[in-house]
A and B are shown apart, each in its own frame.
Chain A
């Protein structure tokens, strides 16, 4: 399978716990994006990487959220001290920088905070 993969697909956690999600992009793609999506809404941009550099981070993102892409390949998104409002689908997408870069999405990680 050469598409974008995400792990885990589902995560249930108690409020206050930390969670970490992983995204493996399409191998030749140098751009990687994290989005959050709630029911009935479009994807909400969280952050993006070009290679290993984190180039932009949403101002909506609290300091409980952190993302890394240490070797410019896979990425992790960590949420510390989870809150019920963090319950959402977390989507990862990758693209190849070019004239226009179609973003290919992974299946997402559905987070439920109890």
Chain B
């Protein structure tokens, strides 16, 4: 079967660093997306990884290990506006996105 696992909720402090993990099992693999979704809004693209390693983009970085079926999203210098759900989605052999349930990130002052 196809499965994406990520923590339901995480809490972090403004200015700190947080790592959100995602493990995936899909039929075939053609990359992994991270999306951010604020409450009541549509998801917006953050990153895409298809090769092993770390991709850095400003305060956000995303890591992929294909052999372990594992990815993480690293958020640095957290700001209150980063409070949102972070969705991990794996691209399967049919190029369809298989979505996790999302990790709700709560930022405290």
Residues in chain A within 8 A of chain B (CB atoms): 40-45, 48, 56, 91, 100-108
A-B contact pairs, 21 of them (CB 8 A): A40-B104, A42-B87, A42-B89, A42-B99, A42-B100, A42-B102, A44-B99, A45-B96, A45-B97, A45-B99, A56-B94, A100-B48, A100-B50, A102-B45, A102-B48, A103-B33, A104-B45, A105-B42, A105-B43, A105-B44, A107-B41
Q: A42-B89, A56-B94 are in contact. Are A107 and B42 (CB under 8 A)?
A: yes
Task: Please name the residue on chain B nearest to A97 by beta carbon.
Answer: B95
B97: A residues at CB distance < 8 A: 43, 45, 103
> B54 on the interface (CB 8 Å rule)?
no
Q: By the criterion CB–CB under 8 Å, are B102 and A102 in contact?
A: no
> B91 on the interface (CB 8 Å rule)?
yes
A44: B residues at CB distance < 8 A: 99
Chain B interface residue count, Cβ-Cβ cutoff 8 angstroms: 25
> B101 on the interface (CB 8 Å rule)?
yes
Task: Please name the residue on chain A nearest to B89 by beta carbon.
Answer: A42
A100: B residues at CB distance < 8 A: 30-31, 48, 50, 91
Q: By the criterion CB–CB under 8 Å, are A40 and B102 in contact?
A: yes
**Alpha-carbon distance between A107 and B4 when the two chains are bound, in angstroms:** 24
Task: Please name the residue on chain A nearest to B102 by beta carbon.
Answer: A42
Q: A40-B101, A42-B89, A100-B50 are in contact. Are A48 and B96 (CB under 8 A)?
A: yes
Q: By the criterion CB–CB under 8 Å, are B99 and A43 in contact?
A: yes
B100: A residues at CB distance < 8 A: 42
Which one of A41, A102, A107 lies within 8 Å of B33 (CB-CB)? A102
B95: A residues at CB distance < 8 A: 101
A91: B residues at CB distance < 8 A: 42-43
